[in-house]
């Protein structure tokens, strides 16, 4: 009898754990279902052509204009700017840390990067708005408005440095020692070993790290909303105000959005595009790191 009960308990606990694990599948399904379901009325009312090719975004005005390009452009501008900041810094710091830095320096820098990664995004927004814009950007380009893409791009870049750095560092460390030693035996300098052996050997890992960081930059909300402004502009000039997809969602939801209104459907439609883009980037990152990985040993 007791054994019977125990077996039942065993089975029950196994099932309970499975349900916990399946919850993550349910979350994904929930995200897709709500985003698609809630934006269906939007796509019924707005032709896809206008949505993806329209050059003006003014959904809350009369008459409303639903051209997504300015928002895509804003997101693109911020992401590219962030990469320009983060890729050189992140990859070179990782290369330096894994190839040359003494252990002591590593022990200091790793926590610094962890702290930078842990600082909330509102804080970066504040930093961009009250420090970067008036003290750095306005000095370089005096005509820049208070809300500008450049300051947002820089802080988003700072935010993704830790991602790029620590994932690249992992990739560099996965390159076997014997390859480096072969390089040194041919009297290569540290720089040559780092640049011609370690970096090419870990290239797929570095690219995957950068792509994951791109996903984060595209989805970044608060810093961008605070620093880049809420004016959808179709421009590639970083010294103008822009609005990203995330900033639009944040701006609209600040006022209460009634369920069933066009504003609400519009919110979910933009969310759907955002989700599709980040999912695509993440899947490509995963595929890339698996497809092009150098397998050692």
Of residues 130-189, those binding another protein (CB under 8 A): 130-131, 158, 161, 189
Per CB under 8 A, the list member of 259, 291, 295, 297 interacting with another protein is: 259
Q: Angle at which helices 262-291 and 245-254 pack, to 10 degrees? A: 150
* Window 190-209: contact mask with another protein (x via CB under 8 A): xxx-xx--------------
CB atoms within 10 A of CB 268: 21
Kindly state whether residue 235 participates in binding another protein, applying the rule CB under 8 A. Answer: no
Kindly state whether residue 8 participates in binding another protein, applying the rule CB under 8 A. Answer: no
* Shortest Å, Cβ 158 to another protein: 6
Of 53 and 184, the one with the shorter C-beta distance to another protein is 184
Burial class (CB in 10 A: 0-12, 13-18, 19+), 73: buried
Per CB under 8 A, the list member of 249, 265, 266, 289 interacting with another protein is: 249
CA separation, residue 245 to residues 113, 186, 271, 272, 295 (Å): 28, 52, 8, 10, 39
Of 22 and 53, the one with the shorter C-beta distance to another protein is 22
Of 62 and 258, the one with the shorter C-beta distance to another protein is 258
Kindly state whether residue 221 participates in binding another protein, applying the rule CB under 8 A. Answer: yes
Total residues contacting another protein by CB under 8 A comes to 87
Kindly state whether residue 282 participates in binding another protein, applying the rule CB under 8 A. Answer: yes
* Preceding amide of 63 cis, omega within 30: yes
Burial code (b: 16+ CB inside 10 Å, e: under 16) for 81-119 equals: bbbebbbebbbebbbbbbbeeeeeeeeeeeeebeeeeee
Provide the Cα torsion 54, 56, 59, 65; round to 10°: -60
Per CB under 8 A, the list member of 73, 82, 171, 226 interacting with another protein is: 226
Which residues, at least 6 apart from 41, have a Cβ–Cβ distance to it below 8 Å? 262, 265
Given the rule CB under 8 A, which of 59-67, 126-134, 177-185, 288-296 is the region that contacts another protein?
A: 126-134
Kindly state whether residue 60 participates in binding another protein, applying the rule CB under 8 A. Answer: no
Kindly state whether residue 250 participates in binding another protein, applying the rule CB under 8 A. Answer: yes
Kindly state whether residue 97 participates in binding another protein, applying the rule CB under 8 A. Answer: yes
Taken in order 124, 128, 132, 134, the sign of the CA dihedral is: negative
Kindly state whether residue 261 participates in binding another protein, applying the rule CB under 8 A. Answer: no
Query: By CB under 8 A, what part of segment 14-43 binds another protein?
Result: 14, 16-25, 27-28, 30-31, 34-35, 37-38
Residue 240: name the closest of 95, 70, 124, 112 by CA.
70
Residue 220: name the closest of 83, 102, 48 by CA.
83
* Shortest Å, Cβ 244 to another protein: 10
* Shortest Å, Cβ 62 to another protein: 25
């Amino acid at each position: 009898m007791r054994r019977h009960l125990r077996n039942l308990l065993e089975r029950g606990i196994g099932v309970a754990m499975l349900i916990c694990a399946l919850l993550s599948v349910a979350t994904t399904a929930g995200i897709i279902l709500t985003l698609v379901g809630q934006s269906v009325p939007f796509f019924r009312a707005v032709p896809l052509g206008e949505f993806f090719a329209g050059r003006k975004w003014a959904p809350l005005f009369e008459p409303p204009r639903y051209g997504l390009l300015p928002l895509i452009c804003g997101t693109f501008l911020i992401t590219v700017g962030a990469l320009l900041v983060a890729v050189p810094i992140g990859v070179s710091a990782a290369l330096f840390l894994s190839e040359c830095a003494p252990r002591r320096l590593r022990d200091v820098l790793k926590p610094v990067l962890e702290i930078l990664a842990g600082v909330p995004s509102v804080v970066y927004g504040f930093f961009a708005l009250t420090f970067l814009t008036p003290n750095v950007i306005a000095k370089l380009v005096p005509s820049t408005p208070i809300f500008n893409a450049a300051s947002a791009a820089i802080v988003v870049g700072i935010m993704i440095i830790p991602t790029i750095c620590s994932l690249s560092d992992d990739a560099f460390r996965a390159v076997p020692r014997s390859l480096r030693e072969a390089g040194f035996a041919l009297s290569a300098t540290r720089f040559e070993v780092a640049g011609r052996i370690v970096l090419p050997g870990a290239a797929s890992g570095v690219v995957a790290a950068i792509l994951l960081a791109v996903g984060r930059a595209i989805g970044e909300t608060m810093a961008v909303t605070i620093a880049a402004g809420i004016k959808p502009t179709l421009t590639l000039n970083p010294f103008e105000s822009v609005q990203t997809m995330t900033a639009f969602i944040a701006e609209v939801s600040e006022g209460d959005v009634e369920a069933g209104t066009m504003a609400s459907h519009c919110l979910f439609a933009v969310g759907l595009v955002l989700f599709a883009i980040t999912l695509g980037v993440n899947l490509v990152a995963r595929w890339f790191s698996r497809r092009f990985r150098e397998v050692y040993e």
